[in-house]
């Protein structure tokens, strides 16, 4: 593996750590508030996701037309500014939307730079490293962020700003690669053109739809857990919910580590099996009413999810590098998966506002994921089966 990937691993680890620390800081703000309703958490998540959809026509091209290492620095600065607005007690929905804007810019550069640092045959392995370190960052970020926020919201936000800044500084160690010449024309028109060009093959459609389904399930399950855990497991603080999702993160790390030996770019269709397993365990989780039962189910969900999303991401990057540019391909992926997450989180936000039981919502999510896996697989041409 190219040693130049190590600064990326460290920088994106810190950025992902801060991303999740700030999420659980905001969750703690809501749980400690006497005026904010339960629907406020999924509403915050929606504000974060909207940025990925709105800026999708611009961020991919921006990442391809500039040194991706420089784009990562700018994105971290924007996220730090969003955390600063929260520290200044600006409306959380607006401040968290700014954090989402930074994340929307960060993602195409983070994944788009991988094909520049890793050879084609090592791309799944490189994604495994990135995904594993990202999930480790999520794991530590949510626990440390929740515990800091339970102690002091202002202290948590101050630490988060420092970490975003440190990530930007470490990113300076990444190489500056040749930039892609900007294509003439309106960005939205180019985005639609890229969309048509990229989705022309069944392989690309499978990867885009598969990634969208995964992130819809992941985002919706996370917000359901915030209501489900206090109701079923009697969790009372942000730290307890963070400790519960620790097992989901560990599972994804395990799945990400195992998958390079099982699913390569050439047999990407095998990814349908862990997708179906993930859906089944989401349904089983809904029937669990013990702490260790929930932890076990979440571990299994994470393991299956890691084995599904890592090869999907690698396929998208490889296809993008061969056609519209890896940054633009990741931006397309972000557009679809964040529209999917907005739909999932939006539906749950509405369900929460009319007091739908979170257990019923979890069962519905599992059944939906299972059905979508079957539908996406059915429409793949048989000659791609492996």
Query: Which pLDDT belongs to residue 164?
Result: 95
Opening angle at CA 61, ends 80 and 19, nearest 5 = 25
Query: Which pLDDT belongs to residue 341?
Result: 85
| 309 Cα distance to chain centroid | 10
CA–CA separation, 261 and 125 (whole Å): 9
Residue pair 367/200 in contact by the 8 Å Cβ criterion: no
Q: What is the pLDDT of residues 334-358, one digit of tens each?
A: 788 878 888 888 888 888 778 788 8
Residue pair 154/87 in contact by the 8 Å Cβ criterion: yes
Query: Which pLDDT belongs to residue 386?
Result: 40
Residue pair 125/1 in contact by the 8 Å Cβ criterion: yes
Query: What are the extents of the domains in the chain?
Result: 5-384
User: What's the CA dihedral at 274, 275, 280, 283 to 10 degrees?
Assistant: 140
Q: What is the CATH number of domain 5-384?
A: 1.20.1250.20
Per the prediction, the chain carries an average pLDDT of 81
Q: What is the pLDDT of residues 128-137, one digit of tens each?
A: 777 778 878 8
* pTM (2 d.p.): 0.68
Percent residues over pLDDT 70 in the chain: 86
> Is residue 180 exposed (0-12), middle (13-18) or buried (19+ Cβ within 10 Å)?
middle
| Residue 128 DSSP symbol | H
Q: Which two tokens stand for residue 203?
A: 């392989």
Query: Which pLDDT belongs to residue 297?
Result: 93
Please name the residues in contact with 173: beta carbons below 8 A apart, sequence gap of 6 or more: 7, 11
Q: Which of the residue ranges 29-43, 212-226, 313-327 has the most confident prediction, judged by mean pLDDT?
A: 212-226
Three-class secondary structure of residue 67 per DSSP = coil
Phi, then psi, of 385 in degrees rounded to 5 = -70, 140
Query: Which pLDDT belongs to residue 279?
Result: 92
**pLDDT higher than threshold 70 for residue 360:** yes
DSSP string, 145-161: HHHHHHH-HHHHHHHHH
Q: What is the pLDDT of residues 90-146, one digit of tens each?
A: 888 889 999 999 988 888 788 777 777 766 666 667 777 777 788 788 778 888 888
Q: Which of the residue ranges 51-55, 167-171, 268-272 has the most confident prediction, judged by mean pLDDT?
A: 167-171
Opening angle at CA 278, ends 273 and 282, nearest 5 = 150
Residue pair 210/304 in contact by the 8 Å Cβ criterion: no
CA–CA separation, 228 and 244 (whole Å): 11
DSSP string, 14-65: HHHHHHHHHHHHHHHHHHH-SSS-TTHHHHHHHHHHHHHHHTHHHHHHHHHH
> Is residue 38 exposed (0-12), middle (13-18) or buried (19+ Cβ within 10 Å)?
middle
177 sits in the region (left: phi over 0; alpha: psi -120 to 50; else beta) called: beta
Q: 69: closest CA among 181, 179, 182, 183?
A: 179
Q: 191-197 — which CB contacts under 8 Å span 24+ positions? A: 191/56, 191/57, 191/60, 191/331, 191/332, 194/60, 194/324, 194/328, 194/332, 195/332, 197/323, 197/324
Q: Average of pLDDT values for 301-316?
A: 83
pLDDT range class, residue 381, cuts 50, 70, 90: low
Q: Average of pLDDT values for 364-371?
A: 92
Please name the residues in contact with 375: beta carbons below 8 A apart, sequence gap of 6 or more: none
Q: 80: closest CA among 19, 36, 150, 30?
A: 19
Q: What is the pLDDT of residues 61-91, one digit of tens each?
A: 777 777 888 899 999 999 999 999 999 988 8
Per-residue buried b or exposed e for 8-25, using 16+ beta carbons within 10 Å of the residue's own CB: bbbbbbbbbbbbbbbbbb
């Amino acid at each position: 593996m190219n040693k130049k990937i190590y600064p990326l691993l460290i920088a994106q680890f810190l950025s992902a750590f801060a991303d999740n620390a700030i999420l659980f800081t905001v969750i703690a703000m809501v749980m400690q508030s006497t005026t904010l309703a339960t629907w406020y958490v999924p509403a915050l998540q929606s504000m974060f996701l909207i940025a990925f959809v709105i800026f999708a026509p611009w961020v991919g091209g921006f990442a391809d037309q500039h040194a991706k290492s420089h784009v990562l620095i700018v994105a971290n600065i924007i996220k730090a500014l969003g955390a600063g607005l929260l520290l200044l007690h600006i409306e959380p929905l607006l401040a968290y939307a700014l954090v989402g804007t930074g994340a929307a810019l960060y993602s195409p550069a983070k994944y788009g730079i991988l094909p520049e640092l890793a050879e084609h045959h090592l791309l799944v392995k490189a994604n495994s490293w990135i995904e594993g370190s990202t999930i480790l960052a999520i794991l530590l970020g949510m626990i440390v962020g929740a515990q800091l926020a339970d102690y002091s919201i202002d202290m948590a936000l101050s630490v988060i700003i420092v970490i975003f800044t440190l990530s930007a500084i470490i990113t300076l160690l990444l190489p500056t690669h040749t930039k892609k010449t900007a294509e003439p024309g309106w960005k939205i028109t180019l985005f639609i053109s890229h969309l048509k060009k990229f989705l022309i093959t069944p392989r690309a459609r499978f990867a885009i739809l598969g990634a969208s389904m995964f992130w819809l399930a992941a985002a919706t399950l996370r917000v359901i857990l915030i209501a489900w855990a206090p109701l079923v497991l009697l969790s009372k603080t942000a730290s307890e919910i963070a400790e519960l999702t620790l097992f989901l993160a560990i599972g994804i790390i395990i799945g990400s580590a195992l998958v390079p030996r099982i699913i390569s770019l050439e047999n990407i269709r095998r990814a349908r099996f862990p997708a179906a397993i993930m859906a089944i365990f989401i349904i089983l989780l809904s029937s669990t009413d013990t702490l260790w039962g929930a932890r076990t189910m979440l571990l299994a969900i994470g393991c299956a999810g890691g084995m599904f999303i890592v090869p999907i991401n690698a396929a998208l990057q490889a296809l993008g590098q061969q056609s519209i540019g890896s940054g633009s391909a990741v931006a397309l992926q972000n557009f679809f998966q964040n529209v999917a997450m907005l739909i999932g989180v939006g539906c749950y936000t509405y369900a929460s506002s009319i007091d739908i039981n979170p257990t019923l919502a979890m069962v519905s999510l599992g059944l939906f994921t299972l059905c979508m896996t079957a539908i996406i697989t059915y429409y793949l041409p048989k000659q791609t089966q492996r």
